[in-house]
Chains A and B, each alone.
Chain A
Amino acid sequence: MRNIDNRKYVIALIFVLIPIVFIIRLFYMQVVDDKWKERAAQISENKILTYPARGIVYDRNGEKLIGNEVYYDIRVVPRQAKEIDSVSFVKLLGISMEEYMEKMNKARDYSMRKPSDVVRQIPPNEFAQIAPELYKYPGFFEVARTQRVYPKMIAAHVLGYMNEVSPADIEKDPYYHSGDYIGRNGIERMYERQLRGQRGVKYYLQDAIGMATGSYEDGAYDTLAVQGKNITLSIDSDLQAYGEKLMENKLGSIVAIKPSTGEILCMISAPNYNPNLLVGRHMGKHYGELQEDTLIPLQNRPLNSAYPPGSIFKPVMALIAMQEGVVTAKASFPCNRSLAGCHNHPTAQNISDGVKMSCNPYFISLTRRIIQQGKEKSIFKDAAIGLDIWAEYVRSFGIGTDLHTDYPGGVKGNVPDRQYYDEEFPNRSNPYGKHRWAFSTIQSISIGQGEVLITPMEMANLAAIMANRGHFYYPHFVKSIEGGNVPEIYLKKNKTMVDPEYFEPVIDGMWRVVHEPGGTARRARIDSIAVCGKTGTVENFKRISGKVYQLTDHSNFMAFAPMENPQIAISVFVENSGFGGTWSAPIASLMIEKYITGTVKDSLKEQRILDANLIPDADDIIRE
């Protein structure tokens, strides 16, 4: 009997033990383990993202450069899309049957209940055809979105473009989700954060089939979308458009800067492209075509190409020499053609003459004085000291330094110094090396050839320095950002190491370049405006299958105008076109006239430029 009476304890024990197991299990599930909470959130919560409109971009006169345009995505919920007349539907959407099947399979794989894209980025005019028919196809619906539009169809390189974020972008900035668009170049990329605004999030509870059934925690975690900021650029869209027209059928660049502020008035890279090509559903195709073009239209030459400056470098030499006290404004050097080739001209009696006549031997002799100052007995050691002094001066003109332009990427020019020739000279058998070079070895740098390199942006900045008589502001595109000011850095005045008084003889020479007989840029003359300029003709060597060929020179010109109170500083660089005075100078003068007076009077000059096709074809290069 005892045995049986004990059984009540066994039963009571079971009645207590199982609940204890349950309580332990519940404690683990509800308090310890977060797995089920995450799972529950995954099941029951969802969010809607609200995308703010991206900021609009205006030019300096309030003209719209980048706007937003509505377009439509057709999406599908595969579960609801049954018994569709796919043949007529495909025709309506304007896609192929294969593409349609592929999209539908992808959508089904993703989710039967959640929507997926079928066709993206249908423009409003095309959607107008689709909309009235769409009701016949259950499960399909449209979502309106916005995309970028470039109403002026100019300044592709300045404005940049957008495309879908890559996995790398998402990893870098978790703000982005797959399918988002991001500024990829130019202003779109530089000011991505300001333009994009802040996405809004609305959390909601969903039922088993994904339908919203209420807000989550009464919207405690919801955020409102913040509109993107509008940006006004310093670009003058008329000037930009005009420059792009002038540069048609040419390779090269134009950069114009407002010297008193450093604002970039225009930046033209030729050849260019219509920025609207890189928008919408055919973007990929267009991008591929642009990428394969041998003239590299996607390259932004003003900031991404560095060339030898040629003769526009000479005024800088004159300025440095005077500041260093190795010459005066009255210095005269003979046109000694054993130093370098030159053209026929009278002997330069002073700095102004030298600049006007652009005499190569004059500037070689002058630069020798800077570099070989006789501080050391050994000419090698002396040249090394002198070159470093020289390089420091040149860099103070912004050349080969960071100009802090608000543009993603870009290269710097090159200012060779002691270290460069001692160690880094880019040749497998460095002919130089420590104490093995003196001025005569490197003298071509004094006329802007050889190892000196400069970008068109730096050239324009150099023109602005001339206009400002010795100082500059970092060239920049931004004029104002909605609700904010121009960044501090662009308000800072950067002084060169040359005092303003030394600029006068050089500027006098630059005026005479344009206005006096015997000047190299007579074609740059405008009757009503005093233009000061300096031509450059850049020797163009190209290595083709191991042999170095000399090709048609690059034509180069920098200028500012008017002489007093300058309003515009400009650099024009036309590749493979010959003398600086022939092509670049007239283009610069047309730009100056256009900017200052608003029109161009000399239609002959204009027509000559518009008619010129200066694009060398590849066969010509080989033949030459």
Chain B
Amino acid sequence: MRGKQSNIFASLDWGVLTVYFLLVFLGISNIYAAVYDPDHAGLFDLETEHGKQIMWFGVSLFLGLIILFLEGNFIRKYAYWIYGGTIFLLIAVLFTSPINGARSWFGFGGVGIQPSEFAKVGVALALARFIDQNGGQKERNRVRKNAGLATLWGVIPFISKNKSTAFILALPCVLVLLQPDAGTFIVFTSFLLVLYREGYAGNILLFLVIGVIIAIITLLVADNSFLLPFTKIKLTGKTGIIITLVVLTGVFALLINSFVMKRNRKSLYHSLFGSFIVAVLFVNFVELGYSNVLQTHQKERIDLVLGKIEDPNGKGYNINRAKAAIGSGGFAGKGFKSAALANASQRHVPMQSTDFIFCTWSEERGFLGSAFLIILYTFLLVKIVIIGERQRSIFTRVYAYCVGSIFFYHFMINVGMAIGLAPVIGIPLPFFSYGGSSIMAFSLLLFILLKLDSERKIVLQ
């Protein structure tokens, strides 16, 4: 292996690396602006968040370099061990004393480590390894194509047939819910995108979209009651939805009866009535889950984003201030360190340097800066998809999709929350939000991908 070292750097994807450095650099400058305090104006002042972030970035780079000098095969080989290690940390963290009502942190003398951030790395590696190993089974276990709505029937058999996959994913999900950390749990659902790409659960995205629409309608009307047209019977919103579903099913049944050849009708009827039953169950599930499982503040966040309640100075305080900060940025922004709202010392926008970091950027850099940042992330995401697709190694491809999906979820929820398109879920914006664990975990995810990608030709050899 002569000239291996130069080989690594020559085969690295410098486009992704450039975007990475750009995001981290902009991120640190943005944290500097967000928490700017004339008493601690030094860039490397370790008292400040930007100073600490620089330190964590240094640690991340160090870890990244180590990874680059490892063998790709080594990572693949020890994927389960890494997974096991992070799972161990997730279990161990449950025995710490809670901070802000959640057991999410290991404290080491003023430095906090959040194992759930690193768990993403472990799960991504384990999932990649598992699908890679069982790649041959994929064809067999995949649900029949062209099965249409009947796929739903396959959900339960699907899980039972892919117990291992389900286990790899479900275990950390359960553990983070025990902390509790709903945000990370939602990020773990991003692996559904990977499964989709790998051919599992064929129409899972379609069902997700239909499910989300039904859930939104249910939540919007469930509390309301209305009069059945032409009568004086008062009905709840839920009954209304179910009646609508019955009518829709009837219409589809009539359509099938009129336009579909006889021999195809039977399976379609099955699908239709199956879907109907699942939909009715789902509506009840959503309603029950909303009213019995979710905590009050979670319900309020959902109500706020659906527009069911408005309370700019109370329950909607966060999001109202965040939107005001972003909206006031205008086209070109107010300028570096000039945020009047999204500045930690003003205390208007909460969680300024972490969950709502996008507000500072958006207020100071305006629409131009915001659009630039979004394009930067989009470039990174698309680039990761391209990297994934150019791999011969299934392991690397699955891993790439895992990284892409995780980044995408963080980006979508964090920015969507700040601009009022998603409920408030406290998860960081990759490379931008302040936080040692998150910048290290995101850097690890990316550097492992870069390392694996750099060996794509070696695999070929």
Residues of A near any B CB (own CB < 8 A): 3-4, 7-8, 10-12, 14-16, 18-19, 21-23, 25-27, 29-31, 33, 35-37, 39-41, 43-45, 205-209, 213, 216
Asked whether B347 lies within 8 Å of A207 as measured between CB atoms, the reply is yes
B305 contacts A by Cβ under 8 Å: no
Asked whether A205 lies within 8 Å of B412 as measured between CB atoms, the reply is no
CB neighbours (8 Å) of A35 from chain B are 327
Asked whether B346 lies within 8 Å of A29 as measured between CB atoms, the reply is no
User: Given A14-B408, A23-B374, A27-B371, 10 more contacts at CB 8 Å?
Assistant: A8-B197, A8-B389, A11-B196, A14-B193, A26-B326, A29-B323, A40-B325, A205-B346, A207-B345, A208-B348
CB of A567, distance to nearest CB on chain B (Å): 66
B251 contacts A by Cβ under 8 Å: no
Count of chain A to chain B residue pairs whose CB atoms are closer than 8 Å in the complex: 125
Asked whether A19 lies within 8 Å of B377 as measured between CB atoms, the reply is yes
B370 contacts A by Cβ under 8 Å: yes
CB neighbours (8 Å) of A29 from chain B are 323, 326-327, 419
CB neighbours (8 Å) of B321 from chain A are 43, 208
Given contacts A22-B421, A37-B328, A40-B325, contact A7 B197 (CB under 8 A): yes
User: Contact check: which of B367, B385, B421 meets A11 at CB < 8 Å?
Assistant: B385
CB neighbours (8 Å) of B145 from chain A are 3
Asked whether B348 lies within 8 Å of A44 as measured between CB atoms, the reply is yes
B382 contacts A by Cβ under 8 Å: yes
Given contacts A30-B326, A37-B327, A40-B327, contact A7 B421 (CB under 8 A): no
Asked whether B324 lies within 8 Å of A31 as measured between CB atoms, the reply is no
CB neighbours (8 Å) of B320 from chain A are 39
CB neighbours (8 Å) of B326 from chain A are 26, 29-30, 36
Chain B positions 363-387 with a Cβ under 8 Å from a chain A Cβ:
366-367, 370-371, 374-375, 377-378, 381-382, 385
Distance in angstroms between the alpha carbons of A391 and B366 in the assembled complex: 75
Asked whether A30 lies within 8 Å of B404 as measured between CB atoms, the reply is no
B199 contacts A by Cβ under 8 Å: yes
Distance in angstroms between the alpha carbons of A10 and B202 in the assembled complex: 12
Distance in angstroms between the alpha carbons of A175 and B331 in the assembled complex: 32
- Report the nearest A residue to B407, measured CB to CB: A15
B105 contacts A by Cβ under 8 Å: no
Asked whether B367 lies within 8 Å of A12 as measured between CB atoms, the reply is no
Asked whether A16 lies within 8 Å of B378 as measured between CB atoms, the reply is yes
Supply 22 A–B pairs (Cβ within 8 Å), ascending by A.
A11-B197, A15-B378, A18-B412, A19-B377, A19-B378, A22-B415, A25-B421, A26-B371, A27-B367, A27-B371, A29-B327, A31-B330, A31-B331, A39-B320, A39-B327, A44-B348, A45-B340, A205-B346, A207-B345, A208-B346, A208-B348, A213-B346
CB neighbours (8 Å) of B419 from chain A are 22, 25-26, 29
B459 contacts A by Cβ under 8 Å: no
Asked whether B362 lies within 8 Å of A30 as measured between CB atoms, the reply is yes
CB neighbours (8 Å) of B421 from chain A are 21-22, 25
Distance in angstroms between the alpha carbons of A77 and B374 in the assembled complex: 44
B395 contacts A by Cβ under 8 Å: no
Distance in angstroms between the alpha carbons of A209 and B325 in the assembled complex: 16
Q: Digit string of B323-344 for contact with A (CB within 8 Å is 1, else 0)?
A: 1111111110000000011000
CB of A17, distance to nearest CB on chain B (Å): 10
B205 contacts A by Cβ under 8 Å: yes
CB neighbours (8 Å) of B324 from chain A are 36, 39-40, 43-44
Asked whether B196 lies within 8 Å of A7 as measured between CB atoms, the reply is yes
Given contacts A15-B378, A22-B421, contact A30 B415 (CB under 8 A): no
Chain B positions 147-172 with a Cβ under 8 Å from a chain A Cβ:
none
CB neighbours (8 Å) of A36 from chain B are 323-324, 326-328
CB of A15, distance to nearest CB on chain B (Å): 4
User: Contact check: which of B312, B340, B367, B404 meets A40 at CB < 8 Å?
Assistant: B340
B401 contacts A by Cβ under 8 Å: yes
- Report the nearest B residue to A40, measured CB to CB: B328
- Report the nearest A residue to B339, measured CB to CB: A44
Given contacts A3-B145, A8-B389, A10-B205, contact A33 B327 (CB under 8 A): yes
Asked whether A8 lies within 8 Å of B375 as measured between CB atoms, the reply is no
B426 contacts A by Cβ under 8 Å: no
CB neighbours (8 Å) of B382 from chain A are 12, 15-16
Asked whether A44 lies within 8 Å of B340 as measured between CB atoms, the reply is yes
User: Contact check: which of A10, A19, A37 meets B374 at CB < 8 Å?
Assistant: A19
CB of A200, distance to nearest CB on chain B (Å): 22
Residues of B near any A CB (own CB < 8 A): 145, 193, 196-199, 202, 205, 312, 320-321, 323-331, 340-341, 345-348, 362, 366-367, 370-371, 374-375, 377-378, 381-382, 385, 388-389, 401, 404, 408, 412, 415-416, 419, 421
CB of A51, distance to nearest CB on chain B (Å): 26
Asked whether A8 lies within 8 Å of B385 as measured between CB atoms, the reply is yes
CB of B368, distance to nearest CB on chain A (Å): 9
User: Contact check: which of A7, A16, A23, A208 meets B199 at CB < 8 Å?
Assistant: A7
CB of B131, distance to nearest CB on chain A (Å): 13
CB neighbours (8 Å) of A27 from chain B are 367, 371
CB of B54, distance to nearest CB on chain A (Å): 26
User: Contact check: which of B196, B199, B205, B416 meets A22 at CB < 8 Å?
Assistant: B416
Given contacts A7-B199, A11-B401, A16-B378, contact A30 B330 (CB under 8 A): yes
CB neighbours (8 Å) of B331 from chain A are 30-31
Distance in angstroms between the alpha carbons of A19 and B373 in the assembled complex: 10
CB neighbours (8 Å) of A25 from chain B are 419, 421
CB of A37, distance to nearest CB on chain B (Å): 5
Distance in angstroms between the alpha carbons of A4 and B401 in the assembled complex: 14
Distance in angstroms between the alpha carbons of A35 and B157 in the assembled complex: 51
Asked whether B362 lies within 8 Å of A43 as measured between CB atoms, the reply is no
Asked whether A30 lies within 8 Å of B327 as measured between CB atoms, the reply is yes
Distance in angstroms between the alpha carbons of A36 and B322 in the assembled complex: 10
- Report the nearest A residue to B376, measured CB to CB: A19
- Report the nearest B residue to A44, measured CB to CB: B340
Distance in angstroms between the alpha carbons of A46 and B311 in the assembled complex: 22
CB of A81, distance to nearest CB on chain B (Å): 20
- Report the nearest A residue to B196, measured CB to CB: A7
CB neighbours (8 Å) of A19 from chain B are 374-375, 377-378
Distance in angstroms between the alpha carbons of A16 and B378 in the assembled complex: 6
Distance in angstroms between the alpha carbons of A43 and B313 in the assembled complex: 10
CB of B188, distance to nearest CB on chain A (Å): 17
CB of B197, distance to nearest CB on chain A (Å): 5
Distance in angstroms between the alpha carbons of A207 and B339 in the assembled complex: 12
CB of A454, distance to nearest CB on chain B (Å): 64
CB neighbours (8 Å) of A41 from chain B are 328
Distance in angstroms between the alpha carbons of A38 and B321 in the assembled complex: 12
CB neighbours (8 Å) of B327 from chain A are 29-30, 33, 35-37, 39-40
CB neighbours (8 Å) of B371 from chain A are 23, 26-27
Given contacts A15-B385, A21-B421, A36-B324, contact A26 B370 (CB under 8 A): yes
- Report the nearest A residue to B146, measured CB to CB: A3
Distance in angstroms between the alpha carbons of A27 and B330 in the assembled complex: 9
CB neighbours (8 Å) of B370 from chain A are 23, 26, 30
User: Contact check: which of B347, B366, B416 meets A30 at CB < 8 Å?
Assistant: B366
Asked whether B345 lies within 8 Å of A213 as measured between CB atoms, the reply is yes
Distance in angstroms between the alpha carbons of A31 and B388 in the assembled complex: 37
- Report the nearest A residue to B330, measured CB to CB: A30
CB of B339, distance to nearest CB on chain A (Å): 9
CB neighbours (8 Å) of B416 from chain A are 18, 22
Asked whether A44 lies within 8 Å of B347 as measured between CB atoms, the reply is no
Distance in angstroms between the alpha carbons of A11 and B403 in the assembled complex: 13
Distance in angstroms between the alpha carbons of A479 and B421 in the assembled complex: 68
CB neighbours (8 Å) of A14 from chain B are 193, 408
Distance in angstroms between the alpha carbons of A316 and B55 in the assembled complex: 102
User: Contact check: which of B348, B374, B401, B415 meets A43 at CB < 8 Å?
Assistant: B348
- Report the nearest A residue to B404, measured CB to CB: A15
Distance in angstroms between the alpha carbons of A39 and B198 in the assembled complex: 47
User: Contact check: which of B199, B346, B374 meets A44 at CB < 8 Å?
Assistant: B346
- Report the nearest B residue to A10, measured CB to CB: B205
Distance in angstroms between the alpha carbons of A12 and B382 in the assembled complex: 6
CB of A109, distance to nearest CB on chain B (Å): 14
Distance in angstroms between the alpha carbons of A36 and B359 in the assembled complex: 13
CB of B238, distance to nearest CB on chain A (Å): 30
